[in-house]
Chain A
Amino acid sequence: MSTLNVLLIEDDMIEVMKLNRAVSSLKLQHNIVEANNGEEALKILENKDKLPDVILLDLNMPKINGIEFLKILKSDDRLKYIPTIILTTSSNKRDLLECFEIGIAGYVLKPLKYEDYVFKIEKLLAYWSINELITA
């Protein structure tokens, strides 16, 4: 199992804490890079030498929202290859459809219970860590 470089794009501080805590409590070696919004994420992604293996993207963000960000990502020749998994509360069918239309690698609903969240994150990271990925 490889160690993943994960870019988490999330404006909610506690959500960020949740991922970090889940990863550490699961004793996983993955690298989590945080971006609080789309702009910040784009800045991080400017560095083509250190691109993340996967992106975890929240849909509800101020300024550039998740779907807009996704569109920017998919229109970039290099960035479009990074598997992007939506991590959201939105069970809106339209959002789901639109995301898959633009191109996503997964759509995960944030559960209410933290334990359920840990369970989902564990599976998600485990899956991507056994995948062959295009690395920079």
Chain B
Amino acid sequence: MANEDIEVYKRALKREKAARKAAEEILEQKSTELYDMAQELKATNSKLQKTIKEQNTELQGVFENIIDAYIVMDLWGNVLKMNEAAITLLGYDYQNNDFNLFAIADKEEVDNVMSTFEALISEGSVTDFKLKLNTKNGTQIIAQVNASLIFDENNKPIAAQGIIRDVTFENKYRQAIETEKQKYSRIIANMHLGLIELDKEERIMMANQSFCAMTGYTEEELIGKVGKELLPAEVDKDLVHEKTVERRSGKSNAYEARVRNKKGELRYWLISGAPNYNYNGEIIGSIGISFDITDIKNLQLQKEDLLSKLEKSNNELHEYAHIVSHDLKSPLRSINALVTWLKEDNKDKLDEVSLQNFAHIETTLEKMEQLITDILEYSSIGSDGKEKRAVNLNEIISDLVKILYVPEHVNIKIPKKLPTVRGDGTKLQQLFQNLISNAVKFIDKPEGLIVINVKELTSYFEFSITDNGIGIDEKYHDKIFKIFHSLNKRKDSTGIGLSIVKKIVDLHEGHIWLESKPDIGTTFYFTIKK
């Protein structure tokens, strides 16, 4: 091979070596550059990832609850970020001042805040945390906080975000509801009414203390039992069943029933039941309120018993009065007949004095008979229980004036039209008759005057009968209405007339009184219920 050729090959090889080395150097340099670049990219990437993670955690909360107050704070309570709603709610703005959330918590909340914050750190989130916050404008709100931690790329907590809701009113309502609930629970527990809740099969689901006390059973003994089978007395089982069926059709009811308690004693209950509905308006059972009326019932039975006894004895008294009056009057009649016969049979043999004595006997007999009649009348008032009717007093008085003995010198004046009242016509006539004839009787003036007048009051008529007679001394005003209190011993006075008057006025739910001046006259006033 030629040297030239070898030299050429040598040089070419040398060039080739140098070129390869250069290429190797470039390659090495490029690859170093590439490595650096890769390292750089890696770092950027990791940084980006961190940011994204932070942003993600942060944004997730924000966008989910954007209308609520939203706050991001560091772990020392310094607010880093807050939304418009939070600014409106709390009055503070983190952009204007340094604003620490812990600082606006109410003083008494310190322990509460600390423990909750610890829980937040350890658990990563807290929900439904309530605390009192003092807002910038000085009002205190009750805030409900739901918060969670924000972590960095190494899962290290770096901040906390939270939603704050003003539940002041909600809380107040809830408190009010709770108070009401407690109030009713207390009422139910302490009321003297037995309360039970029954399911659709009439099984007792709830019974209050009073109900247990009323029955003598404990609540455990009652729960699950069918009320209508356990409690009603045999006689009233059907009744209670009937009422229960009624309730099932949605009807409320109240009724009396006899019940046997645990001891087997018979008690009277007033039971009031109503269907119980669920939210959908379906009947789910019933609620029963029971009241032990045994004592009242016994009193009522006692009262009925007494009333019937009273009625019986009243009847007896009425009969008795009639029999006594008959038995007393019969001898008087006989005496009268005998005296008359004595007079007839000895017509020409009796002297003036004897005839006068016979006349005295007759007058005495008359007075005696009048007395008996009056007593009978007095004891009969109110015993016949007549119904009250409309009575026109004008008719009654004009009739009376016709039949009564009114002497020439006595004038009866009725300046006003008299009303129509409700009452017993016969008795009202008797009332006026006694008062008018009394007035007539005691007029001692040459010109007698009797005035019958009336005044209309709200619920009463007030009548007055005025005379210009002898008058009544004030010390007797109370006495004259008492039976047998005749102030004047007169042959035509038995002392019962005014007692009858008083009794009739009482019967018409009125009052009677008088004004009088001795020698000048008397006015009797009485009222009659309209």
Chain A interface residues toward B at CB < 8 A? 12, 14-15, 17-18, 21, 60, 88-93, 95, 110-115, 117
Interface assignment of B332: CB less than 8 Å from any CB of chain A = yes
Contact check, A14 vs B322: say whether CB atoms are below 8 A apart. Answer: no
Cβ 8 A contact of A112, one of B326, B369, B384: B369
Contact check, A90 vs B326: say whether CB atoms are below 8 A apart. Answer: yes
Q: Which residues of A contact B340 (CB under 8 A)?
A: 113-115
Interface assignment of B334: CB less than 8 Å from any CB of chain A = yes
Q: Which residues of B contact A14 (CB under 8 A)?
A: 333-334, 337-338
Closest to B373 in A: A91
Contact check, B330 vs A12: say whether CB atoms are below 8 A apart. Answer: yes
Interface assignment of B23: CB less than 8 Å from any CB of chain A = no
Closest to A12 in B: B330
Q: Which residues of B contact A111 (CB under 8 A)?
A: 333
Chain B residues bordering chain A, tally (CB within 8 A): 22
Encoded as 1 (CB less than 8 Å from any A CB) or 0, chain B from 47 to 76 comes to 000000000000000000000000000000
Contact check, A15 vs B334: say whether CB atoms are below 8 A apart. Answer: yes
Contact check, B330 vs A18: say whether CB atoms are below 8 A apart. Answer: no
Give chain B's interface secondary structure class.
Answer: helix
* Total contacts A-B at CB 8 Å: 50
A112-B334 CB under 8 A given contacts A90-B322, A92-B322, A93-B384: no
* Interchain nearest-CB distance for A73 vs B (Å): 21
* Interchain nearest-CB distance for A8 vs B (Å): 15
Cβ 8 A contact of B366, one of A12, A91, A112, A115: A112
Contact check, B332 vs A112: say whether CB atoms are below 8 A apart. Answer: yes
Contact check, B334 vs A12: say whether CB atoms are below 8 A apart. Answer: yes
Cβ 8 A contact of B337, one of A60, A93, A114: A114
Cβ 8 A contact of B365, one of A60, A112, A115: A112
Query: When chains A and B are docked, how far (Å) is the Cα of A74 from the Cα of B319?
Result: 24
Interface assignment of B329: CB less than 8 Å from any CB of chain A = yes
Contact check, B341 vs A112: say whether CB atoms are below 8 A apart. Answer: no
Q: List 26 A-B contacts (CB under 8 A).
A: A12-B334, A14-B333, A14-B337, A15-B333, A15-B334, A21-B341, A60-B330, A88-B326, A90-B322, A91-B322, A92-B319, A92-B322, A93-B384, A112-B329, A112-B332, A112-B333, A112-B365, A112-B366, A112-B369, A113-B336, A113-B340, A114-B333, A114-B337, A114-B341, A117-B333, A117-B337
* Interchain nearest-CB distance for A1 vs B (Å): 25
Query: When chains A and B are docked, how far (Å) is the Cα of A21 from the Cα of B346?
Result: 16
* Interchain nearest-CB distance for A17 vs B (Å): 8
Interface assignment of B355: CB less than 8 Å from any CB of chain A = no
**Contacts of B324-352 to chain A: CB distance below 8 A:** 325-327, 329-330, 332-334, 336-338, 340-341
Closest to B321 in A: A92
Q: Which residues of A contact B37 (CB under 8 A)?
A: none
Interface assignment of B301: CB less than 8 Å from any CB of chain A = no
Interface assignment of B323: CB less than 8 Å from any CB of chain A = yes
Q: Which residues of B contact A112 (CB under 8 A)?
A: 329, 332-333, 336, 365-366, 369
Q: Which residues of B contact A88 (CB under 8 A)?
A: 326
Closest to B327 in A: A60
Q: Which residues of A contact B323 (CB under 8 A)?
A: 60
Given contacts A112-B332, A114-B341, 7 further A-B contacts (CB under 8 A): A15-B333, A15-B334, A18-B337, A89-B325, A89-B333, A112-B369, A117-B333
